[in-house]
Every structure is written in C-alpha cells, then in structure tokens.
Structure 1
Amino acid sequence: MAAITPNSLSPEILGREDMRRALEEHDFGAVFALAKKYGGLSQNRIAVLCGLTPGKVSTIINGSQRVTSFDVICRIADGLRIPGRLIGLAARSWEHEEQVALPRVERQEERTAPDGVPWRPGATVGMATHLTRSDLLMDRRAATRALAGVTIGGAALLDELEPWLQAAARDGRPARRGRLGRLEVAELESTARAFRAWDHKFGGGLRRKAVLGQLNEIAGHLEEQQTDEIEQRLYRVMAQLAGTAATMAWDSGLQRRAQDYYRLALRASHAGDDMQFGANVLAGMARQMLYGNRAHDALELIRFAQDGSRKAAGPRVRAMLHTREAWGYAAMGRVSAFERASGQAAEALAEADGDRDAEPYWIAYFDEAEFAGVTGGRLLDLARDDPRRHAEKAAQQIGEAIERRGPEARRSHALDWIGLAECHFLMGDARGGGDHAHRAVDAAAHTRSNRVRAQLGELYPYTVGHGVPRVVGEARSRIRDLLAK
C-alpha cells in the first residue's frame, strides 16, 4: 500500500531547505513534523505509509525516540517517496519505475551547487535569510538536535566550493541608489568589526543571536537594489558577520550549523570580490575539520585556499594558512612536513611590517604571539606521541605566547595555559603541571567557550591518581567544579 499511495511527500516539500537538512541528519522527528505541516499528512497517515504504529510516530516526533534501524529508515524512504540520495541510501527500486522530479533549483544548479543554492549573489542573500531566520527561531529542543549534526567533507564539500575560484556572476539587476549611503554602510562595517573583536576576546555563543540579527538585516538591505559600491561592501559585511556566526556556533558545539555559516561566508566573500577573506573562511573550515580529526579534508581545504588567494593574500594571511597546513601535518604525524610548513609561516610573518593597517583588520590578530601559540599547540599534539622529543619545545612556544599576548584574548589565553599545563605533565613535572592547571582554571572561568571547557576536560585525566602532589589534587577539584557548572 505504501508503495502505490499518492499521499506521499511532493518534490516541492522535499526541496525545502529545512526538510533537506532534516533528511541529511536523519532527524525523522523533524521530517515527520514538516510532513504534517507542509505535506498535509496526518500522524496516522504517516504511520500507515511507513509501516509504523501511530504511537511510534508520536514518540519520534516528540523526540523521545530516534530512528536508528536501517529497516525503518528504508520503510520511511519508501513510504514517503524520499529519493535515496537525499537520505544517504542507494536509489530505491521505485525510483527506476517512475521519474521523480527533483526540486527545481536542484535540477538547474546541481552541477555547480550540490547543496541546491547557486553561486549567484541573489541566491546567497536567500541563503542568508533562511539560515538566520531558522536560527533565530530555534527553540531549545531544536538546538539540542542541532548539537548532533555532523559536518560534510571530502569530495562532496570540495566540489560544492569549487565555484569560489571563478569570477562572481552578476544578477543583472540595474544599479540604482538604494536606501543606504556610505555612512550607514560604514556603521554596519564597524558593528561587524566589534562583534568579531568580542568573539576573539571572550569566545562562546553568548551574543550569537545578536550577530544573526545583524546578518539578517544585511540580507534585507541586499534584497533591495543598491549601487555597485554599496552592494559590494554589504556583501563583505555579510561575509564577516557569517564568519563570526560560524565561529560562535562552532565554539558552542553546533558543528553542522557552523559549517552552514562558513559556506555562507565563503559565498558572500565571493560576491563581494574579497578573495583574502574567502581564504580566511576556508582556513576556519579547515580548523573545524582538524578538531574533528579529519586532517586530510583540512589539508584539501587549505590547499584550495592557497590556490585561490595566491595573488591576493598578504603576508599575515599566507602565514596563517601555512600554520593551518602545519597543523594538518602534525595531526597526521608528519614531523618533517610540519616543520617545513611552520618555517614557511615564520618567513611569511617576517614579511609583515609593523603597520597592521596595511592588511585587513580581521587578520591583525595573527602576530608573533599567535604564531607561537599555534606552533606550541601543534608541538603539543606531536608530544602526546613522543614527549621526549617535543614536549619541552611545545612548552617554550606556549610560554612565549602567554608572555606576548596576555589575558586580553581570553579564549586563547585560557587555551595557552591548558596547553602549558599538559606539557609539564608530559615532561613528568606534576607540580609544575598542577600550578599551570590552576592558572588554566582561572583563565577558563572568564570565557564561555565550550572549546576551552572541552580542552580542560582533556587535561583532567592528568590530575587523577594516587600520590599526586597536593597542588594537583586541588587543581583536579577546581577543574571538576568548573566543568560541572
């Protein structure tokens, strides 16, 4: 009965962004809820179509039970007429029997934009509007589901990003004076800069919705016709706000949502003809992959960024990209490649003059202190496998970062102290590790970064054991108390 009933999901419903995301993440509670809201299917009808009981459908919708059975997933795909490619399955048998129309935007743009959003400025505005509206309306339950979202990588991601290397297409709208003038755009640029500085200092997602609100407003301005100059500047502001939103989402544990905003930031930088910031966005995506233990994907993204920004990138941007490259090599245990890339980063940074205004404001943070901290962190990665060779060097670099940058960059400052404590534990200096762990807790208490708390959790096992010095036991209690908050 489920195979022949016409009461299934239409191509238009399947083409909705929220439906596609729910299918990608196998969030069948959201799938069923959207099917009821937009597809006109009752709860009982969904149960009949999918071979489930109405009670089972109810528990899936209210989040009490997640669908993990492969057999049930197949029954849902067949019952609701969901093409296999949308749900991570092979093509279903009924797909060969009838040609199921793809959503219109996917048919037209599939080769250039696998996520269904073409690389045109107007489509980028639509993507921004949808992302921000859905995020601003996200309730606690939806936020909890979003924590389970996984990022995409490999060829699927790289193919989607390929149009970044091509010149931006125009929408063909006649340019005319819009509501915004240069003064108003300058104020928006200043706001984007302030949000970025706040995130760099504190970390976490406390002001994420304020950033999203501003991003949604930029999208609204871009829906109007502006002069070419104003439009380009607005797209650059959109890129910077989307990049900040991505970092905040990532720092809050919303990995898939962070990747969505990174992709938006890349498209907006492309529309704004800002290849340098596009390279910075790709570096952010690579960092996310590295934290997810996907070094190969990260290196592919960095090479892509280096290829695309070769003629545009200043010395600080080139240095930052080389450090991300070195990070990937360190994660793969390729010590010689790590040292080579780190040397290239040092050479590029040496080319930067003392005037930070010569380069974009958003890369000004990458100075000798940041370089020391990043290099020390990567040496620490290597020291976990070979502490005798790398732990002391890591401690020297991280110590230099702490001395140079101070506590004003609170998230980085906390990560530095956590790293330095781990270095001393690896070197067998338990007392020194305990002292630095106390400093790490002090610094972590001043940031809302989930990343800082995750790193602190990884430090905790070093403090556990019988016969540890008193300072270590006290640090253990403080770490536990902070993580329990």
Structure 2
Amino acid sequence: MTTQQTVPRCTGTHWPVVGRGRIGCAEVRKVEAETRTFRALDYRYGGGWCRDAVAAQLGWALRLLDADCSAAVRAALCSALADLAGLAGWTAFDSGRPVVAHAWLDRAVALATEGADDALLSTLRYRQGRVFLHHDAPHEALESFGRGVAAAESGGCVLMLSVLAANQAWAHAKLGDVRPALAALGRAADAFERADAADAPASARFFGETDLAAMAGTVYVELAAAADAAYAAMAVSELTRVVARYGDGMARSRSLCATMLATSHLIAEDVDEAAVTADRALTEAMTLNSQRFRDRLAPLERQARLRRANPAARDLAGRVAEFRAAA
C-alpha cells in the first residue's frame, strides 16, 4: 500500500562506452556521488523507489572497468563500484528479491576484494548477513557476520565491529540464545565507544547512537518473543526513544522500529498502546515502497492474533493483515 507523492527522480549518469579510453579520479568521484544520492533515496523512501535506477546506473558504471587507468585509480574504482553494487543488492533485498540481492552482493564482494578494501568488505558481509537473517536463516547470517568481523579487523574499521556485533546479537536472539545475544550486544556498545565514524566507509556511517539503541531494542523484542517476555519492557524503553529520534531522512528505519515497538507493547500485554503505535507506523509507512517493511509486520500480526480474545488485539491483527495484503 503506497501513496502517490512527489519523489526525486531516480536517474543517474549514463556513462559513455569508454572502450580503451583512459579514466581518472573524476570518474570514480562520479560513481561515489551517484551512490550517495541513491542511498539517501533508499533510506527515505525504500528500495522499491530506486532499485531499478540503481541497477541501471551500476550497469553503465561497470563499463568503466574496461577503461585504462593507473593501479591506484583501478583500486579506487573497484571500491566505488563495490559500494554501488552493494547498494543495488540492498535495494533488491528491500524490494523482496533476495536472489537478486545475493547476486549483486556477491559481485560487490568480488569488487571490494579486488580493490583490497577490507573496511568496505565488512559492510558487504553485514548486508549479506542481513538478507539471511530476514529470511529466517540465522546460522547463515552468523557466518556472514563472522566474515565481516574478520574484514573489519583487517581494515581497522571499529564502527563496523559495532554494527556486526549488534547484528550477531540479533541472530542469537532469534535463536533464543540469551547469553550470546547479550554478550554480543555488549561488544557492540564497547566497539561503538571506541569508533570514529570518519574512519568508516560511507556505507557504514549511518550507524550512530540512535541506531545502536535501535539494535538493542531489536534484540530485546526478539528475546521477549523467543525466550522471556520480561525483555519486552526493555524493548519498549529503547524503541520509544529511538522512534522519537529518527527524522524523515530515516523514515524506513523509524517505521521498522515503530513496528517492533508495537510488538513489544503486545508482548507486555499493553494492547491499547500497541494499537496506537501500530496505527501510527502503518500510516507513516504508506510513503514507503519497502517489501522488507511489509515482511517485518508478520511478528506484529502474529502477536496480535495470539491475543485475539482481546477485541483491540483482534482488530489490530485485521488492520495489519489488510495492510500487508493491499501493499
């Protein structure tokens, strides 16, 4: 379910066929600029708004690999193209196309490896893990996150160590493994305190204090559902602050967290507050084009149906089901 609205046109630079021409830093900077533009669109409107444009842009930009250039430019180009390919994979993932997502992410990994960019490689391993995690493959996700940790350590990217530890915590929480989940969450907080965002690749700089809190809330709601309902109160505390902090530039993240907040309220047996929070999340999400958001409504609907004896919970389950069916 999406509404018609004015969205920045998803068009990029159509690169000429370079053949045996020579390129330099200017062409690399163009790729980087296009990636920044598309990444902002993805955060604000969801991958569905820009997936095709990102893939088309990448198809053109990959032709630069056929050009002559110095070794230094080649390495920088590979990194820039890897970041763009990673974004192509991420927007495909957000659009509900996991096979395409994995294909683009595999290409991105190969490019980052050729460019010897371990810091960027760590972000790509994180994204691969998130695709696995979303599709209920936490063990495969943990393997990808582990590879990401090795790349982050090799590349000296402490911020990505925080990101990866937080996501390892999420995977463990999905498995109902309380101690490993909380231990990984602790490592994420420790690494975040030591991190300098300036040393991280552009694709990792999204991760700030609010995002760390969002991951903590995510872990707690997963533990509440899988292991101990007492964690729901901790999830409510973290996610309430997170939803209030995210601005319009991170609309998808805000909507995802609001959905988890509503789920946490349900597990805590506060059905009325869950309904209010969920309705707000569904209204805001009407500006998104994100299959991932629609998929993430499933736990909310499931928790509401578990409480179907409560009329408010039963009504909420129906509204969520209607949103998912109409989207």
The unaligned stretches of length 5 or more in structure 1 are 1-176
Q: Indicate yes or no: 2:257 matched with 1:407.
A: no
Distance, in Å, in 2 between the alignment partners of 1:292 and 1:227 is 41
Q: Secondary structure at the match of 2:49?
A: coil
Distance, in Å, in 2 between the alignment partners of 1:223 and 1:310 is 32
Match runs of 1:53-452 below 5 Å: 178-353=21-196, 356-452=197-293
Question: Deviation digits for residues 87-136 of structure 1, max 9, x if unmatched?
Answer: xxxxxxxxxxxxxxxxxxxxxxxxxxxxxxxxxxxxxxxxxxxxxxxxxx
Q: Indicate yes or no: 2:315 matched with 1:473.
A: yes
Question: Deviation digits for residues 262-320 of structure 1, max 9, x if unmatched?
Answer: 11010011111110111111111111111222222222222222223313132211100
What letter matches 2:286 in structure 1?
Answer: A
Identical pairs, percent: 27
Distance, in Å, in 1 between the alignment partners of 2:292 and 2:137 is 17
What letter matches 1:198 in structure 2?
Answer: L
Contact 2:118–2:154 (CA<8 Å) still a contact in 1? no
Q: Secondary structure at the match of 2:289?
A: coil
Question: Deviation digits for residues 7-32 of structure 1, max 9, x if unmatched?
Answer: xxxxxxxxxxxxxxxxxxxxxxxxxx
Distance, in Å, in 2 between the alignment partners of 1:184 and 1:227 is 13
CA shift in 2, pair 1:425/1:301, >3 Å: same
Residue 6 (structure 2) aligns with: none
Question: Deviation digits for residues 344-386 of structure 1, max 9, x if unmatched?
Answer: 1101101135xx4343222111111111111211211111134
What letter matches 2:279 in structure 1?
Answer: H
Contact 1:203–1:448 (CA<8 Å) still a contact in 2? yes
The unaligned stretches of length 5 or more in structure 2 are 1-19
Moved more, 414-423 or 227-236: 227-236
What letter matches 2:284 in structure 1?
Answer: A
Distance, in Å, in 2 between the alignment partners of 1:474 and 1:457 is 12
Contact 2:43–2:249 (CA<8 Å) still a contact in 1? no
Contact 1:218–1:234 (CA<8 Å) still a contact in 2? no
Distance, in Å, in 1 between the alignment partners of 2:251 and 2:266 is 23
Distance, in Å, in 2 between the alignment partners of 1:429 and 1:396 is 13
Larger Rg: 1
TM-score normalized by structure 2? 0.87
Q: Secondary structure at the match of 1:225?
A: coil
Contact 1:315–1:348 (CA<8 Å) still a contact in 2? yes
Distance, in Å, in 2 between the alignment partners of 1:258 and 1:299 is 18
What letter matches 1:427 in structure 2?
Answer: A
C-alpha displacement at 1:337, in angstroms? 1.1
Distance, in Å, in 2 between the alignment partners of 1:245 and 1:438 is 31
Distance, in Å, in 1 between the alignment partners of 2:320 and 2:301 is 10
Question: Deviation digits for residues 377-436 of structure 1, max 9, x if unmatched?
Answer: 121111113453211111111112212223321111111110001111111111011111
Distance, in Å, in 1 between the alignment partners of 2:99 and 2:284 is 28
CA shift in 2, pair 1:229/1:344, >3 Å: same
Number of residue pairs matched by the alignment: 306
Distance, in Å, in 2 between the alignment partners of 1:182 and 1:367 is 30
Contact 1:413–1:443 (CA<8 Å) still a contact in 2? no
Q: Secondary structure at the match of 2:69?
A: coil
Q: Which ranges of 4 or more aligned residues in structure 1 deviate by more than 6 Å?
A: none
Distance, in Å, in 1 between the alignment partners of 2:176 and 2:92 is 29
Contact 2:224–2:231 (CA<8 Å) still a contact in 1? yes
Distance, in Å, in 2 between the alignment partners of 1:481 and 1:341 is 34
What letter matches 1:430 in structure 2?
Answer: V
Moved more, 356-365 or 433-442: 356-365
C-alpha displacement at 1:461, in angstroms? 4.2
C-alpha displacement at 1:475, in angstroms? 7.8
TM-score normalized by structure 1? 0.59
Residue 295 (structure 2) aligns with: 454
C-alpha displacement at 1:472, in angstroms? 7.0
Distance, in Å, in 2 between the alignment partners of 1:302 and 1:213 is 29
Q: Which has the higher contact order (CA 8 A, sep 6+)?
A: 2
Q: Report which of the two has the higher share of helix.
A: 2
Distance, in Å, in 1 between the alignment partners of 2:166 and 2:310 is 39
Distance, in Å, in 1 between the alignment partners of 2:299 and 2:184 is 27
Distance, in Å, in 2 between the alignment partners of 1:482 and 1:326 is 28
